[in-house]
Homo-oligomer: A and B are copies of this chain.
Amino acid sequence: MSAARLRLGLLGCGTVGGGVVHLIDRERERIRERHGVELTIEKILVRDLAKPRPGVDRRLLTTRATDVLDASCDVIVETVGGVHCAGAYVRRAIANGRHVVTANKALLADCGRDLFAAAVRRGVTIGFEASVCGGIPVIRAIRDGLAADTIDCVRGILNGTSNYVLTRIEADRLSFDAALALAQERGFAEADPSLDIDGEDAAQKLRILAGLAFDEPVVSSSIAGIRGIRHEDVIRAREHGRVIRQVASAHRVTGGIELRVAPVQLTAHDPLAHIRDEFNGVVIQSRAAGEITLIGRGAGAGPTAAAVVSDVIMMRSDKMNGID
């Protein structure tokens, strides 16, 4: 099978960017055989040229974003994170006629609407499967798998850090502070875990999912984190056969959509009640298909890179499978 070449420019080479480089390295041959796509990385934006990066070809590195954005690439993969720089890069990539793949939930929650509109005008696409729940193909499930159906509700455990903390309190009878320290020690929480613990990370992902699932505007939004949740409450819930989880939910109310992030008690029958540790899960309720649950790893280099590179491959496949 003759393979079509797809040239990538990488913005960032940290956990996710490095994961993308390694995954492409490992899977290149299989992707060529199976999908007829030859992936090549043309340029990689980094902050520090001197930093050791095992397995990364140093000749590809640059500290100037324009070296990546203005190179002859088909797809720009944005993994720098944050909103300001990343937004400017993505806008320039789109203006240059490049497809974009991003794992940046904050960027999409902040100015996704503008970016998607700019992409449509320029005739390019933005892949963002990795921005919500890492390796779980939830974007595809909502946008493609349920394209024909009306969705009534989306609920999920969208933040692995909070879920890890809650399940450790529950299973190991730790205090909130001890569980959070354990999460940090094991790499499931940042040094500053505020965005995760206070619910903002889950809220950003929820906004992205709600934008995909519903056409109506958001009319109400509330965010409560799990900081300071009482150990006794978690244990008491467990003694009554229940679990406390940080649940993000979006559903229809009069006039539009209501978004809510909060710790809630779940019965054992709730599909989200069985999601433990750093795992994420989403339950989609739609009219014809009924209830669909997706569970998997929501973060980490491997799952996120798998979502990013799959998005890249599908950009090519889209062309090959389309109606003429």
Chain A positions 271-310 with a Cβ under 8 Å from a chain B Cβ: 271, 274, 286-297, 300, 302-303, 305-310
Identical chains in the assembly? 2
Looking at A104-112, A129-137, A194-202, the stretch in contact with chain B turns out to be: A129-137
Kindly state the separation between the CA atoms of A146 and B309 in the bound complex, as whole angstroms.
9
A232 contacts the other chain (CB 8 A):
no
Q: Which of B287, B295, B310, B321 contacts A302 (CB 8 A)?
A: B287
Q: Which of B33, B146, B293, B321 contacts A310 (CB 8 A)?
A: B146
- Which residues from B are CB-within-8-Å of A26? 150, 287
A313 contacts the other chain (CB 8 A):
yes
Chain A positions 17-73 with a Cβ under 8 Å from a chain B Cβ: 19, 23-24, 26-27, 30-31, 33-35
For A312, the closest partner residue in chain B by CB is B148
Q: How many residues of A sit at the interface, in one of the four size bands?
A: 35 or more
- Which residues from B are CB-within-8-Å of A324? 123, 319
Kindly state the separation between the CA atoms of A310 and B123 in the bound complex, as whole angstroms.
23
A79 contacts the other chain (CB 8 A):
no
A323 contacts the other chain (CB 8 A):
yes
Q: Which of B19, B129, B300 contacts A145 (CB 8 A)?
A: B129
Find out whether the CB atom of A144 lies under 8 angstroms from the CB atom of B321.
Answer: no
A99 contacts the other chain (CB 8 A):
yes
A172 contacts the other chain (CB 8 A):
no
Find out whether the CB atom of B293 lies under 8 angstroms from the CB atom of A295.
Answer: yes
Find out whether the CB atom of A322 lies under 8 angstroms from the CB atom of B312.
Answer: no
Find out whether the CB atom of A125 lies under 8 angstroms from the CB atom of B288.
Answer: no
Find out whether the CB atom of B271 lies under 8 angstroms from the CB atom of A148.
Answer: no
A251 contacts the other chain (CB 8 A):
no
Kindly state the separation between the CA atoms of A300 and B321 in the bound complex, as whole angstroms.
28
Find out whether the CB atom of A145 lies under 8 angstroms from the CB atom of B149.
Answer: no
Find out whether the CB atom of B290 lies under 8 angstroms from the CB atom of A302.
Answer: yes
For A31, the closest partner residue in chain B by CB is B148
Q: Could you name 26 residue pairs across A and B whose Cβ atoms are closer than 8 Å?
A: A27-B149, A35-B147, A125-B321, A129-B145, A136-B292, A137-B145, A140-B145, A144-B144, A144-B310, A147-B313, A148-B308, A271-B274, A289-B297, A289-B302, A289-B303, A289-B306, A290-B296, A290-B297, A290-B300, A290-B302, A292-B294, A295-B295, A315-B323, A316-B323, A318-B319, A320-B322
**Residue positions of A touching B, CB distance < 8 A:** 19, 23-24, 26-27, 30-31, 33-35, 74, 99, 123, 125, 129, 134-137, 140-141, 144-150, 215, 271, 274, 286-297, 300, 302-303, 305-310, 312-324
| Further pairs besides A99-B323, A290-B297, A295-B295: 14, Cβ < 8 Å | A26-B150, A27-B150, A31-B148, A145-B310, A146-B310, A148-B309, A148-B310, A271-B274, A286-B306, A288-B305, A291-B297, A316-B323, A319-B323, A319-B324
Which 8 pairs show the lowest CB-CB distances between chains A and B?
A137-B145, A135-B289, A148-B309, A319-B322, A288-B302, A292-B296, A318-B322, A289-B306
